[in-house]
Amino acid sequence: MKTRHDEVFHALHAEGLLMLSNCWDAGSARIAEAVGSKALATSSAAVAWSHGFADGSRLPTDLLLATVKGIKRVSELPLSVDIEDGYASEPERVAALVTELLRGGVVGINIEDGTEAPELLCRKIAATRRAAAAAGVNLYINARTDVYLRPLVDAGARVAETLRRAQLYKEAGASGLFVPGVREEADMSAIAAGCTLPLNVLVRPGFPSPERLAQLGVRRLSAGSDISETMFSFVSNSMRHFLQNGEILTPPAPALNYPGLNALMARQA
């Protein structure tokens, strides 16, 4: 009997550290799988930029769904999709979008509170959980709180506020907690110990090693938009250099040349 992708994705958070390099289209998903990713997860910013839109719930949802279709065409790995705030304020509309994502084969989502009251995210999570149950999918709902990204509370109160929100989100039906912006080991350890949801953090320069993060209780490490930023930065510099000098810049890492890329993209999922 074939193992369900939703069960596999939940199991990947049970022990050790799940590392997600974050993709944004079918091509980057192929690369993520080829280099050893155990699951796929999108970055909302990277997906938006790949379509020529700014991040911040500006991406039309039909393009989000098209991105999912493209990724699922090339990979059978479990797929989680960052839906920002759900692209709507009304929980029913968020649930309707999630239902479409489930039909496309998605088994996980990220959904965030931002500057809104946590009670609104609770209602979105609850509506989403009901939609997933109706579809027969044990959806992994990764509830993102922006307590560390935005000046929502004083610095000394961030751990307590994060844990307060984590409990609300768990009661609403969340599967995991995403706390981008947290940097201090003591804070990560306190959040992991005080919350029964698997803790997801966003990598930053100077972060502890993956082994150390696992020791602190972190269960998921995301690259976010950083890999996409690096790619677009190199493309921008390469185009500028070509227009100015008529030359192609040599990449700082070994190149994926035409034959290699073409062979990679030709693989069957």
User: Residue 116 in 3-state DSSP?
Assistant: coil
The pLDDT tens digits for 149-205 are 999 999 999 999 999 999 999 999 999 999 999 999 999 999 999 999 999 999 999
- In this predicted model, what pLDDT tens digit does every residue of 23-55 receive, in sequence order? 999 999 999 999 999 999 999 999 999 999 999
pTM of the full structure: 0.95
| CA gap 71, 77 in Å, rounded | 10
Distance CA 136, CA 105 (A): 12
Give the length of the chain. Answer: 269
Look at residue 1 in the predicted model and tell me its pLDDT.
Answer: 42
